[in-house]
Structure 1
Amino acid sequence: MDEWKFDGTGDEGEEGEDENGESSWDFGGRTASIFLIDTAKEMFEAPSDAPEDEEPPFKRAVRAAHATLMRKVVSSDHDLSAVVLFNTKETKNPIDFAHVYVLQELERPGAEKILMLEKLLEMDDNKFNKTYGHSSDASLQDALRVCQSVFSKCTSRLAGQSILLFTCRDNPHAADDQKQRQARQKAKDLKEAGIVLEILHMGKTFDVNKFYKDLIIPDEDEDDEDSQEKITLADPTSRFEELMERMRRLDHKQRTTGRVMFTLAPGVEMSVGVYTAVRKMTKPYKMKLWKSTNEELRYMKKEFLEDTGELLMPSDYVKYQVYGGKSIKFTLDEARSINKVYDPGMKLLGFKPISSLKPYYHVKPANFIYPDEKSVKGSNKMFAALLDRCLARKMAAIVRLIARQGSSVSYAALIPQQEELDDKNSQITPPGFIACHLPFADDFRKIQLKNLVRATTDQVDAAKAVIKKLHFKYAPENFDDPVLQTHWRNIEALALNRLHLEPVTDYTLPNNELISKKAGTLLKTFQDLVYPNSYDPSHPVKKQPATSSAAAAKKVKPDPASIDVETMAKAGKADKLTVDILKGWLQERGVKVSGKKKAQLVQDVLDEVGQ
């Protein structure tokens, strides 16, 4: 889930990574999410102090679920999601609990599910009351049990299960202590079953301490007595943008590149997960469909021996290395074992000040390191202690890292990262280590530049001033690929029968107006110091004509009389000669050349010299 806490939660599924740092997914199971939405009357009433254009909490919850499904289609279309309403008058669920309505079963996101939520958004209160109805008698325990039954019906392998509860009522069972106890017990049962419960509380006056804080506390057997007080609960959201931002963080599942043992010293080990921090997003592969049924085609690739037609098996293949003029053969297993220098894992080699790490050390995308309490108990505490000391002393741990079987050896610097919260107490940056892969000696190149012109001190100062003025904190998520966005907009319009496409804003293009407003004077100063007076940055660059000496050298042709055709023919360079030279040389020896092409002329020359 999004909130990275040292409590053993955080990662879902498995992810592989190739040698270039790009991720390749290994199937570790689908992630499943259920949107559990309260439909009590209060959810359909906008707060009295809310702006006129603000939607009631129920509309915001449905809109958040709709936006999440739209995002899942693009980012993780194999994950599963469901929508369950509680506090409805009507009942529809597999275990027949009152006032709980399963609107959408646990399935992959698709056009039908998205269109159903759009119809629900367009539905007015009267029509909703006739179709589903309102109530306030639903037991939260029953709603959670229905969600658990929805998960249990799923036949797919699940790597993570989560329930996202939307409500604006902070004390639903105020007059019934038994229902409150049942809800708390059910929340503990869900946690033991590996189902994560997240509360998306809405409304400025929502008090999470009245009831819902007890549903998301850690286990009672925590070592710290006041562990409850250590949990940072996010403040309630009152705007749709805040709700969506929290939804993105909660719904995004973290998948590991690998789980390895981190050896600090002989006999001192902990388990950590290695996560991909940034990966390249590409267009999905084309899927071949059968034209009559529109079903996906499955194809198999088999290779046969050309001489006999015998089917080749993987054991029939060998690799070879030429050594001493001979082909030394290796089986595939032997070739793999050559690359295996160390077993997968991470070993601490020492510490270096963070200031000693240079930006140009970057060789491939960094990884994120986080403890894995499920594999080795006590990893959280050991990891937290190491992180705390590295932050206090501003030191980076130097490690040898092999993320998984078959990966190449990498030396990395673990840069400590402190947890950051926004003004709503929602986590922005998780605590952990950023594993920056270090270059080897042969990764550095010595570049020799000739005819260098050194910038003057004034020019350097002017450039620094421009950079300082235009500097901003870069975040990859703020810059969408316009080509990818256009591709998905077209698919969305086709799947949802849209007549008009939403315009795609290209944020990768420079905002010249804003740049001129912020640093126009500084840019003009830099231009005057570096470029000549006649320089116009908006004018297209003209190609420089070739210098007179180069042009003259190009035009100079060799004298045919000075070329020794016989010597060049014996050296195997007859095809390098021009047709005129070949014809002239052959005519001197009485050979007919009329109507012959260059290949024939070359052969005649070779015949004449006896080659």
Structure 2
Amino acid sequence: MTEFEYDADDNLGEDDEEGGSWTFGGRTASVFLIDASPAMFDSQSNDEGDDNDPPFQKAIKCVHATLMRKIITSDQDLISVVFFNTRETKNSTDFANVYILQDLERPGAEKILQLEELLKLPTKEFDKKYGHASGANIHDALRVCQGIFTKSSSRLSGQSIMLFTNCDDPHPGDNQKQRQARQKAGDLKEAGIVLEILHMGNHFDVKKFYQDMIIRDDEDEDSQESMILADPTNRIDELTDRVKRLEHKQRTMGRTTFTLAPGVEMAVSIYTGVRKTYKPSKVKLWKTTNEEVRYMKKEYLEETGELLLPSDYVKYQEYGKKKIKFTLDEVRSLSSIYPPGIELLGFKSIKCIKPYMHVKPANFVYVDDKTIEGSKKMFGALLDRCLAREVVPIVRFIPRRNASVAWAALIPQAEELDEHNCQVVPPGFHACFLPFADDFRNLEMENLPRATPDQVDAAKAVIQKLHFKYQPESFDNPSLQTHWRNIEALALNRSTLDPVPDHTVPTNDRILRKVGKLLDNLRDLVYPPSYDPANPPKKRPSAASTPAPKKPKIDPKSMSVEDLAKEGKVDKLNMDQLKAWLQERGMRVTGKKKAQLVQDVMDELGV
């Protein structure tokens, strides 16, 4: 199995927020190390349909896309941009040919605009400002990146270096520099810093130099076999997708043990799956300092005004006309029937798990070899046998302390790689929660007409023709995209906005091209010959929905003011009529509103 590449979010469901204490684990830090040698600025012959931008510009575009994505998804993470193979030098240790363009900070509008200016910068201007070189030591560049992480004052939960280059052998014939680079790569791994190679070019041979940096000789055979390096690419979309997968750090919901039998345990991590994304909630700011307003809730006893503490609360259950009281600790202990963890109960055929059993979003279970050594081999063996025999483990699922007891089916998922050896689907189990007996309902259906077998077959043909593999990332929420696009334009001082495509709207022309004849066949079988879909027959209004006859409107001109006053409808008169009636009686009407005029009429008539 290769390393886990699962796009998980940090949002927890409603059921996951009950109980448990969550602490801030730290920020994710990424350093983009980009080669600025002359070869990176040469346009290469790319695949058909791809752009002809030089590799350096493609690398900058990937960093730009990452900054734009980070601001929306993880604005607390830190990003830095470093060049190597430049004539100019800018770093704290004065290593030659290494230039720190952006320090390790949160993404912001200034950094994005700086990268956009860099994309517009001609090659000659770049040479004047930064210069080109070809003899930079990879050891020195990696050491500068490690120093950036070390000097960060923030607590870091994940550190990674993304190296963009199209040179497969940076130190040809220099064994000392090659050995130093490999040694520094090993030091980074021991320090918990992940080094990723994003190699570009049609003839990039990763075995010449970089494969030895990623796959160490001192690692065990299983680790060496699990490391699969992707093929080099020139396509900007593939490069951006790789950066997104490598740079995104998975934050686990928790770690627990998976008990297969008494005394047989392995450690696993639990991750959230694909969840719905919402617009960020509104934040109230103080008008003078523009700082966020924090709320503090305190409750007092109504009789004495004494401040209430959490220990002063009790809950009760009424039984036999008596209130049986429980403290909050006693209420929490009621859910602690079993200890936290995942316990295997048995196996079922995968065909027994039906789609209608879905009760809430599933979690993803992956091995955690750091907690219990050897868990990776046991997890891989279990996954392999479940896939081979097409069975699912049925487990008792309690992810953490004070969590509700749940039963789940672990749907096995095999690893999938694309044609470039990039991981598309990670290996592991989807923990699909099973419903309880109370979750099933018996629906009373009326005697409705049923479709004939021919009509059913015609409908199946239409559905099969329009069937496709659904992927959530292929359909963006147009409302969310418009919201963030407006914020982007405001932050970057942009006057025009690119239109937001709505991929959720069905493409009727394309649908008709694929199933036009099948739809006509289905229409002929279901509807009568005289049915016209463009002009469907109007429904007859039911007796209950027939509107009541309207009351005739009263014409104020046909009634005297006295009669209207008796019925309380003087306000039906307009301003001119009211003023004329009051002026005939010598009353002042200048500067008065209609309500005052109506009141004067009522007072005059004594109504």
Question: Structure 2 length as normaliser, TM-score?
Answer: 0.85
Structure 2 spans left out of the alignment, 5+ residues = 550-607
Change (3 A) 1:12 1:457: closer
Instruction: Report the AA paired with residue 506 of structure 1.
Output: D
Q: Residue in 2 aligned with 1:422?
A: 418
Structure 2 counterpart of 1:31, from 4, 28, 32? 28
Structure-2 separation of matches of 1:119 and 1:540: 57
2:269/2:365 contact within 8 Å kept: yes
Across the aligned residues of Structure 1 and Structure 2, the Cα RMSD in angstroms comes to: 2.4
Task: Give the distance between the partners of 1:167 and 1:188, measured in 2 at CA.
Answer: 20
Instruction: Find the counterpart in structure 1 of residue 555 from structure 2.
Output: none
What letter corresponds to residue 97 of structure 2 in structure 1? H
Secondary structure, aligned partner of 1:263: strand
Aligned to 1:166: 164
- Are 2:128 and 1:130 equivalent residues in the alignment? yes
Residue of 334, 355, 362 corresponding to 1:366 = 362
**Superposed displacement of residue 318, structure 1:** 1.9
Q: 2:570 maps to what in 1?
A: none
Give me the whole-angstrom Cα distance separating, in 2, the residues matched to 1:219 and 1:439: 49
**Per-residue deviation, residues 528-548 of structure 1 (Å, max 9, x unmatched):** 21123344445578555215x
1:481 matched residue in structure 2: 477
- The answer as to 2:490 corresponding to 1:494 is yes
- Please give the per-residue CA displacement for 1:19-38, whole angstroms capped at 9, x wherever unaligned: 45799986322111111111
Change (3 A) 1:551 1:110: closer
| Amino acid aligned to 2:26 | G
**Structure 2 CA distance for aligned equivalents of residues 430 and 416 of structure 1:** 11
5 Å matches for 1:392-431? Answer: 392-431=388-427
Name the counterpart of 2:590. Answer: none
Q: Report the alpha carbon displacement of residue 81 of structure 1 after superposing the two structures with TM.
A: 1.0
Aligned to 1:254, the other structure's residue is in SS state coil
C-alpha deviations, 1:320-348, integer Å up to 9, x for none? 22222222222221111112222221000
Matched, 1:18 2:16: no
Against the structure 1 CA distance between its residues 93 and 11, is the aligned structure 2 distance closer, same or farther, given a 3 Å change threshold? farther
CA contact (8 A) 2:33 2:164 kept: yes
The answer to whether residue 84 in structure 2 is matched with residue 86 in structure 1 is: yes
Cα deviation for residue 304 of structure 1 reads: 2.6
Looking at structure 2, the residues matched to 112 and 292 of structure 1 have their Cα atoms a distance apart, in angstroms, of 25
Equivalent position SS for 1:255: coil
Equivalent residues of 2:44, 2:52 under 8 A apart: no
Note the C-alpha offset of 1:289: 2.3
Amino acid at match of 2:139: Q
Q: Distance in 2 between matches of 1:69 and 1:25?
A: 27
- Within-5 A mapping of 1:137-286: 137-218=135-216, 220-224=218-222, 228=224, 230-286=226-282
Deviation (angstroms), 1:71: 0.8
Q: How far apart are 1:288 and its partner, in Å?
A: 2.1
2:102 corresponds to which residue? Answer: 104
Q: Structure 2: which amino acid aligns with 1:482?
A: P
Distance 1:89 1:319, change over 3 A: same
Instruction: State the match for 2:37 in structure 1.
Output: 40
Contact 1:21 1:364 in 2 (8 A): no
Go from structure 1 to structure 2 and tell me whether the alpha carbon gap of 1:95 and 1:295 turns closer, same or farther (over 3 Å shift). Answer: farther
Q: 1:409 to 1:110 in 2, by over 3 A?
A: same
Between 203-212 and 150-159, the greater mean CA deviation after superposition = 150-159
Offset at 1:219? 6.5
Q: Is the 8 A contact 2:9 2:275 kept in 1?
A: no
Cα separation, partners in 2 of 1:403 and 1:543, compared to 1, 3 Å: farther
Report the equivalent of 2:309: 313
Q: Distance in 1 between matches of 2:59 and 2:451?
A: 58
Residues 68-83 of structure 1 mapped to structure 2, 5 A cutoff:
68-83=66-81
Q: Which residue matches 1:586?
A: none
SS in 1 for 2:253: strand
| TM-aligned CA distance change 1:44 to 1:50, over 3 Å | farther
Aligned in 2, Cα 1:238/1:375: closer, same or farther, shift over 3 Å? same
Identity rate of aligned residues, in percent?
63
Q: CA deviation at 1:308?
A: 3.0
Amino acid at match of 1:124: P
Structure 1: distance between partners of 2:6 and 2:310: 34
**Residue identity matched to 1:308:** T
In the alignment, the residues of structure 2 paired with residue 40 and residue 64 of structure 1 have an alpha-carbon distance, to the nearest angstrom, of 18
Structure 2: which amino acid aligns with 1:163?
A: I
> Is the 8 Å Cα contact of residues 170 and 208 (structure 1) preserved in structure 2?
yes
Q: CA deviation at 1:49?
A: 6.1
Residues 168, 206 of structure 1: 8 Å contact kept: yes
For 1:600, the equivalent position in structure 2 comes to none
- SS class of match (1:348): strand
Higher mean alpha-carbon deviation, 57-66 vs 249-258, is at 249-258
- If the length of structure 1 is used for normalisation, what is the TM-score? 0.85
Q: Which one is further off, 401-410 or 215-224?
A: 215-224
Matched, 1:323 2:346: no
Distance 1:317 1:44, change over 3 A: same
Determine if contact 1:22/1:280 at 8 Å carries over to the other structure: no
Q: Distance in 1 between matches of 2:436 and 2:46?
A: 61
Distance 1:21 1:531 in 2: 48
Within 2, Cα distance between the matches of 1:279 and 1:374? 28
SS at match of 2:252: strand
SS at match of 2:505: coil
What is the identity, as a one-letter code, of the residue corresponding to 2:13? D
Cα 1:221–1:374 shift into 2, 3 Å:
same
Match of 1:571 in 2: none
Q: Which residue of 2 aligns with 1:293?
A: 289
Q: Give 1:346's aligned amino acid.
A: I
* Distance in 1 separating the partners of 2:276 and 2:17: 7
Alignment of 1:463 with 2:459, yes or no, is: yes
- Partners of 2:225 and 2:480 lie apart in 1 by 44
